[in-house]
Every structure is written in structure tokens, then in C-alpha cells.
Amino acid sequence: MRSSLTVTLLCATSLFCWVLPSAVLGVETETWTREGRTFLVGSFEDMIAAPHGGLQPGAERIGLPTPPVPVLWDALIAHDHYFVAAGDGAGVLMLEAGSAEPVSFALADQGEVLALAAGERGVIYAATGPKGAVYRIDVRRGTSEEIFRPEATYIWDLLVLEDGDLAVATGLPGEVLRVDPKSGRSTRLWQTLDPHVRCLGLREGKILAGTAGSGWIAELDGNGNAFVLWDSDRTEVVDVLVDDKGTLWAALSGSPGKAESGGTGERPREEEKARKGAHTTITVRANAEGPGADAAKEGKKSKSKVSAGGTMPGGGGALLRIGSSGQPVTVWKDSKETPLDLEFLPGAGLLMATGTPARIWLFDEDGRDGWFDEIPAAKSVSALCVHDGRVLAASSNPPAAALYTAKAASRSRWISDVLDTGSLSRFGRLAAVAPKSAASSSKIYARSGNTSEPGDGWSSWREVTDAIGLPGGAGGAMSLPEARFLQVKVEMAASRAREYTIQALEARYRSRNRPPRVGAIHMEPAGVSFRPLPPPAMTAGDVPVVPMPRSKEVLRVIKGKSTVWRSKKVYEPGALTLTWKAEDPDKDRLAYGVEYCLDRGEPCENWLTLAEELTQKFFSFDSRMLVDGVYRFRVSVDDASSNVAGEGLEAREISSRVRVDHSVPLIDSLDYETAAGGARLALHASDPGGRLSRAEYLDAEGHWIEMSADDGIVDGQKEIFHAEIEASLATKMAIVRVVDAAGNVTTGRSD
């Protein structure tokens, strides 16, 4: 029952009891969604994430024999066989499914095989470096022969032209040559000032070339001239590709440079030195250390950052798209992951192989990215080749080769990342947005647990029936134990491969209400009062009489005017102010209550209400309504107004001891002794109900001057003060005042 004292105090502080209207529930039903790019944070097993945002069955994957060298530079599907370009003198390796060992085609110079191309009638071409040469390999006969050796250190790429000639990209010097594979005769199509031409492509019969050093993408006219389509701020163009719609794609590696006034990322070219052949030599050799390993170099360091020594390009990179407008658009970039190869997969999109980590990305014609595969054990997917719907992927450090067939995998699987709800939660329905055709070939599972790492201690996977449906569907009940964490799994069978997708997953849950917390309680100095100031929304008249229910999500979006009360701090004799800290992990609206108890040296049991339904973390009141004594105050906090009936929680905190003292201090005696040039004033004072704070005397100008305590500190119920006063007051009446810790004042004078 509320006491009469409490009623008086509540009436005196009615402003504190005004709660702003609201209908927001603190713990609401939440929806966890995975769709589009958020699918990429899950793990994939023979499943792809299409660029348009859905999960699809992936391609059947077949393992091939493991190459015996650490780095594979290129991959080729030709004449119903699978080839990879190797180094360490291993030559060209033919990999056959079901075979234990690869078939090796040795080359005379024992160098690194850097590029492959398919010829006619069982012939493939291989290019090497250093001491670059082009070889013809007859797959049926198992023979190889050198057909061309330029005055260049490297041959980075080969391109078979319509008439059967070869376009050859060289490094040190950087040139594009046209070679007749029958006679070995060559014609120079272009010589660049860059040290390397790294890649070649074809667009409408014209050769495209990407360089290393300045990062040029150039189009050759066949007469020794080149028109630069793009001067990149990255150092190396590792691949160029034109898709079936004529869109040019370029994979760039290296960190962006600081562009000079001309707009390029490299330092100004030293044209005269370039004409004199003052390029450096890079020695390519096998190196199992992977990206970042040092390559052996001869002479001075080249401006190019082209990789060597069995290492793939590094330092991040970007994917560039040049459409019909001719305007380049960067559709993908990363500061660490580095593009290494591009291939177009008809009916699916553009594939991009990367290093660190070893991934294969999938892009649609507009440059939206999706997911094809990842090889966690390798440092890079170094090469790709697409032919008749099949994809050959070669990875390096360690080496491996995988074949993705045109068939769908018999079983595809995607497992989500772990949802952390933050507290014990109830899990409701799980909806998978998909066409009806997906229901017969897909299954959705869920599990819950209370450890951040799924596994032991979690519930088993439980199939969620009726989960798959059209947008807006109710989904199926997960029927999981209450827990903090949730994980979802999607499985697809091979039937109707790639004719359907899981577009989105929506898991609904409701966290249990968590209790609020109230921190330390602080009593402001006696006389300090906090006067409440209403929030701007209230003073502007924006608070509705009948508020509409609004969820947390709505409030986050509209970001309305503040509804937080402020305070103005003033001095009022007799006032006491309590302040405290409080918070709620669910961001619930909190209400506070204040109780008090006279401390008799034992735990308080008879708590009396001082105020309730406060909305601010402070409370000022008239302490003169409390009798003198030592008190404790208890602050309670609850979140009931933001939760379903019966689910509100509360917390309490008790203050340290607070002395309430209304009795004025006493002046026991006041004397002074006249001396030469002045007088000595002596004051004996006491405060039976508390402790003294200070004593002062009034000087000739009307200023209060603080007196010194004989023991050097004012902290007791009895104190002796003294002061040396000036001669002008020595023959006059002395006026003094004594103040106690509660702010009570007594004034006296000498006779």
C-alpha cells in the first residue's frame, strides 16, 4: 500500500510519470533471410548460386589424375582429351578420368609450359618460357616438335586464327606475332613499349591484346597498329574474352596504382630505352610456395609485375566489362583475391577463376556475380577451359584438375551460415521461395543449438515439410528445440537440373525476453535538482493521442523525433536527486520505480514506495519529507510495457547509504583575541545529525571568507575553526556562518 508520503511525492513530481504513448513490442517475431549475395556466406557442395540470385543444382564433378608439379599454367579440352600446361620439365600432361597417372608429352627445352591451343586432326600447340618456343604436339602419335622460336623470353598466350595461323603473345620484348605453324615463318603484328603481352582474344576478326606493365587492352588492325581500348590503373591484364553477344570482358590483376596526369597507373614510359631493348629478363622456374613467392630475376627489376617462378599473379584485381557503348565498367574487384582466367559457359554465363582463395565465380551478361565452385585445398584456380558444356579447371599449389560435366550432380547441397539470435529463441516457420517444380526434387532441413560451432550438442537435421512454395507462402514448421543458434540446409536432386532455383529462404523466430539491467545508483550533492524537460516531439505537438502500433523495423526506418526526456540541473535547498544507469539487451522501453528504507544496520525489509512508472534515469524529490537518518534507496526497472503480458522481466539495484539531515549545525562558541595589527577568530561548531562541511566569516567588504579547521580537514560532527582577521574588524562585531554536508546553514555573531 502506498503511504501518504509517497502520494505527496508522486503528485509533486507528476511530470516524471508522463509516459509517452507507444505500442511497440520489445520482442517481436523476426525473419532471417538468405537470398542473392547472402547465399554466398554459406557452404556449397555441387551447388551453384546463379547471378540472378537463386540456388541451382551444380554440375557433376569428376576428378582427374593429380599432376606431379606444383603449378599448372593453362588447361585445354581438345580431341576428347583433357590437357594441362605444366612446368619443371613435365611438359604437357594429358589427364584421363579413371587413369591413375597423367600422360606426359615432353618438350625439348624443359621449361614451363605457359599456354595451350587446339589445332586440327589431333594436334595441339604448346608455348613455353623462358627461352620461349612454340611446339606442335601430335596427340595420336605421342610426338612433339618445335615449330617456332622467337627472339623473346616468354610466350604467354596462343590464339588459333581462322586461317589456321597462330597469334603469339610474347614477353621481353612485348610483341604480338603471327606464325604459320607449317613453315614457322612469323610476322610482327604489334610491338608494345610494355615488357609483356599477357593475353590474346578475338572480336569481329580483330585481335585483342592485354599487356603487363601498363595494363593496356588494345585492338590490333593487322598493319602493326593498335588502338588502346582501355589504359588500366592496374599493372596486368591477365585475360580478355568476348562473349557470344560481343561484350568484352577483361581480368586485371595487381593493386591500383597512383595515376599520373595521363591517367595510367604506371610511371612514365621510357620510350628510348624500350626501343633499345633495355628490358630486363625474368627467369621462370618451378616454385611450390605459391602466390607471393620471389621469382629469380636477371638484371634490373622490370616495371612489370607479371608473375614468374611458378607463382600466379597476386595483389588483388578486378573484372572489367566493356559493352556496346565502349564504356568500361568495373563489375567486380577485390584487394586480395586475384583474377587469373576467364571462360564463357553457354547457357550459364562468364566464369572467372581466382587465386587466394581458389574460386570460380559466375557472372551474367550484366555483370551480376554468382557462385560456381571453390577448391579450399588450393591457393588458386589457375586455368579454365570450356568445351561442349564441359568445364576443365586446373588449380595450383597444390596441383589438381577437375572436370565439370554438362550433367547435373546427382545430389547438390547448400548449408547456410549460422544465425545467432543473441538469446534463447523459439523457431517458427521456414519458407523456401521457389516454383512448384522445385518441391519434388528439393528438401529443406534445419537444426538448432547453443554452441557457436555446429556439431555435437546440436539437434539433428530435421526436414521441414511444406517449406517450399511461392512468394508469400507460410512455409513449414521447423519443430526445433529452443536455442540461440540456427542453421538451414538445402538439398537438390539431379532431376530437372537447372530448370528451377531456390530464390530465397526465410526463417522466422522469436527471441525470449532478456531481463533489463540497472547499474550503480548515484546520489547527487544535496540541493541539486533535475528538472525534467520534455522531448522535442512533445513540445512540437507531434505526439498523437491515439498512436498507431509500430514495429521496431518501422521505427528504425522512419527515425522519428526523439522521445527521450532531458533535464535542467538547478540548485534547490532541501532537494535530493538520484541518478542511475540502466539498459536492456532487447532495446525494450523501460519503466523505473524508486523505494526507500531507513537503514538500521541490517538488511532492509520494509521498503516504501517513493515513485513509480518513471521514464527517465533520474529522480529529484523534496528530502524534507524524510526524517533525519541514514537511508538506502532501491531502483527497480522492468520491461513489461514492451512485452507480451506475463513475459516482462525486472531487475533491482540498491544504493549505498545516504544521510538525510534537516537539522542545522550549532555554534558552540565564538571568540577572538585582539593582537597587534588584527585579531584571531576562534569558532567551535557541531552538527549532531550529520557532519560539518565548512565555516566562514564576513570580511569588511562583505565577502564570506572560509576559515581553517584546526586539524586540517572538515569531516566530523564537531570541529574547531580559526582565522586571522584584519585590523579593521578587530574592534567590531564578528559575523560567521556554519554549513553542514546537507547544506543546512547557521549564522552567528560575537558579542
The model's pLDDT over 589-648, given as tens digits with 9 standing for 90+, comes to 899 999 999 998 888 888 999 999 998 999 999 988 899 899 999 999 998 888 888 888
Q: Does residue 382 belong to any structural domain of this protein?
A: no
Q: Say if residue 433 is in the same domain as residue 519.
A: no
Q: Which of 504, 525, 547 is the last residue of a domain?
A: 504
Q: Say if residue 139 is in the same domain as residue 187.
A: yes
pLDDT at position 40 over 70: yes
In this predicted structure, what is the pLDDT of residue 556?
A: 56
Q: Which domain holds residue 542?
A: 4-27+515-660
Q: Are 421 and 511 in contact (CB under 8 A)?
A: yes
Q: Say if residue 646 is in the same domain as residue 550.
A: yes
* pLDDT above 70 as % of the chain: 83
Q: Say if residue 573 is in the same domain as residue 606.
A: yes
Q: Does residue 47 belong to any structural domain of this protein?
A: yes
Q: Say if residue 415 is in the same domain as residue 286.
A: no
Q: Say if residue 20 is in the same domain as residue 53.
A: no
Q: Which residue did the predictor score with more confidence, 496 or 452?
A: 452
Q: Say if residue 152 is in the same domain as residue 253.
A: yes
Report the alpha-carbon angle 382-384-389, nearest 5.
160
- The band of 558, judged by pLDDT with boundaries at 50, 70 and 90, is low
Q: Say if residue 596 is in the same domain as residue 499.
A: no
In this predicted structure, what is the pLDDT of residue 293?
A: 34
Q: Does residue 389 belong to any structural domain of this protein?
A: no
Q: Which of 504, 532, 554 is the last residue of a domain?
A: 504
pLDDT at position 685 over 90: yes
The model's pLDDT over 91-128, given as tens digits with 9 standing for 90+, comes to 999 999 888 889 999 888 778 999 999 999 999 999 99
The model's pLDDT over 6-30, given as tens digits with 9 standing for 90+, comes to 333 333 333 333 334 444 455 678 9
pLDDT at position 564 over 70: no
Q: Does residue 36 belong to any structural domain of this protein?
A: yes
Q: Does residue 226 belong to any structural domain of this protein?
A: yes
Mean local confidence (pLDDT), 155-171: 95
CATH number, domain containing residue 351? 2.130.10.10
Q: Does residue 77 belong to any structural domain of this protein?
A: no
Q: What is the mean pLDDT of the chain?
A: 83
Mean local confidence (pLDDT), 282-290: 34
In this predicted structure, what is the pLDDT of residue 281?
A: 31
What's the Cα-to-Cα distance from 310 to each of 109, 165, 210, 460, 670, rounded to whole Å? 16, 29, 21, 46, 98
Q: Does residue 602 belong to any structural domain of this protein?
A: yes
CATH number, domain containing residue 689? 2.60.40.650
Q: Say if residue 653 is in the same domain as residue 685.
A: no
**Residue whose cell numbers read 622467337:** 150
Q: Say if residue 484 is in the same domain as residue 582.
A: no
Q: How many domains is the chain built from?
A: 4
Q: Which residue did the predictor score with more confidence, 16 or 340?
A: 340
Q: Say if residue 458 is in the same domain as residue 559.
A: no
pLDDT at position 352 over 50: yes
The model's pLDDT over 196-255, given as tens digits with 9 standing for 90+, comes to 999 999 999 899 999 999 999 999 987 878 999 999 999 999 999 999 899 999 999 988
Across 409-482, the runs of DSSP E, i.e. the strands, are: 411-415, 419-433, 442-449, 462-463, 468-469, 476-477
Q: Are 167 and 177 in contact (CB under 8 A)?
A: yes
In this predicted structure, what is the pLDDT of residue 699?
A: 84
| Phi, psi for 303 (deg, rounded to 5) | -65, -25
Q: Which of 481, 504, 527 is the last residue of a domain?
A: 504
Mean local confidence (pLDDT), 303-314: 54
Q: Which residue did the predictor score with more confidence, 574 or 212?
A: 212
Q: Does residue 91 belong to any structural domain of this protein?
A: no
In this predicted structure, what is the pLDDT of residue 625?
A: 87
Q: Which stretch of 143-147, 203-207, 549-553, 716-720 has the lowest confidence by average pLDDT? A: 549-553
CATH number, domain containing residue 527? 2.60.40.10
End-to-end CA distance of the chain: 54
In this predicted structure, what is the pLDDT of residue 24?
A: 46
Q: Say if residue 139 is in the same domain as residue 231.
A: yes
In this predicted structure, what is the pLDDT of residue 495?
A: 58
The model's pLDDT over 666-678, given as tens digits with 9 standing for 90+, comes to 999 998 777 766 7
Q: Which stretch of 16-25, 262-271, 316-325, 480-489 has the lowest confidence by average pLDDT? A: 262-271
In this predicted structure, what is the pLDDT of residue 567?
A: 76
